[in-house]
Structure 1
Amino acid sequence: MDRDTALVTGASSGIGRELARQFARHGHDVALVARREGVLADVAGDLESRYAVDATTISMDLDRDGASDALYEAVHDRDLDVGILVNNVGIGTAGPFAEADLDEERTQLRLNVVTLVELTRLFLDDFTDRGRGRVLNVGSTAGFQPGPFMAGYYASKAYVNSFTEALAEELRGTGVSATVLAPGPVDTDFQDRAGMGDSAVGSTYKQSVEQVATAGYRGVMRGDAVVVPGLPMKALSLLARVTPRPIRRRVARRVNERR
């Protein structure tokens, strides 16, 4: 099993932080990317002291023009041997789309989709040149269906899920793999940050970040194309495939609509 450095975006909290811990725990050096320099430093210090790995911090706002190129250049300027790219950074918006803040919707698209695509394309040059590399994109079970009152978020994750599956097939047999991690509601502050505190999302079932990150690490190291953590979410994703779309839309509306 290789021990390439893992580059993790959105590594200061939530799933990103736990994914970084999983890689460090298994002996990988890590490069941590997020906006909050002080928090990143704390995460890096903890990983280095616990697991005796090198943890490099790159404080950067990925929600700006040219950020993906700047990050790629920063990795090369520091001579980091990145062999695993973890595209985790992202946000969610909630509420009626007709009332949405357009700047927030643009930011959601940039972080959830555009940055992920750009970084994947840039690092694939390195991976395909050496004939080895792994891409782990954090999607969502939300991406398997439309989501009224979170229309943009569900659509962005549909892009991530579909893009990654297609890429996995393109890369088959090359030594490079692509994996999409598609959890359901996770026990983080995502719902509160998305303004969903008064919706039914996650009110009956939430996955722990450790469960999700463990499944993601195992899946990407196996080269799986799709990883859906947890039996309940696996069952739900299978059920969604055979449920008529109008019913799925209405169920999602009931879950996402503010109570």
Structure 2
Amino acid sequence: MLTPRVRVVDLETAGNGPHDVCEIGWQDVTLGSNGRWRVDEERGSRLVNPGRPITPETMAVHHIIDADVAGAPFWKDVAADVLKPEGEIRALAAHRAAFEQRYCTPRFTGGAPWICTWKCALRLWPHLTSFSNQMLRYQRMPEGLIRELGLPAHRALPDAYVTAHHLRDMLNQASLEQLLAWSREPGLLPRVPNGPERGKPWDRLAADVLQALAQDRDPNLRFSAETELRRRGEAPPAGAAEPAQRTLL
């Protein structure tokens, strides 16, 4: 019988093009015989030739340079081996998974469902002040996280390793099915992230302010305002703007 597992992945890129991956890291989280999820020993990383020069802006984040990837395989030759490993995986996971999904398409994943640990953190730990991968690390200090394995930050394997500890705790707090369901929806922000009402919880906002925010172009902001309106028994406005991603929290 196969052990249930979720594979956490993290990508570093050369820029913003469709084939710009220059590193992939992975870390498995598996279900133990005691019914508790744990961070497994299965982890690794691969450098990838992005087929173009790495921009200085991204080098400054992950410190991977062109010479590091000159002899590495291309993404199309690496992706499926990492994303569709031997043995069953229940899901793939990443922090702000929409980024990884741009590159980890169904062609390479076999259509595996995704967990977004950012969206799930908003649901499970709304009291926290920030929800980036590294801020969660230091606000929560997950049990068993070996500091050295989680460094340097902004490299694929250390970041996947850190994310896996968040995911383990999420899976031990909520079901896999619940995490998948939350991940299919926009992020439910615990507070207004910017503007005149910044920092306020949704239940403290006036109805007209909620109606205005429910028409925002950001899908997470709009969804959060709509959720509060529905909680109050009020209908969200019709004809909201098309979504546009924005960095929040």
TM range (shorter): 0.3 to 0.5
Higher Rg of the two aligned structures = 2
When normalised by structure 1's length, the TM-score is 0.33
Considering fraction of residues, name the structure with more helix.
1
TM-score by length of 2: 0.34
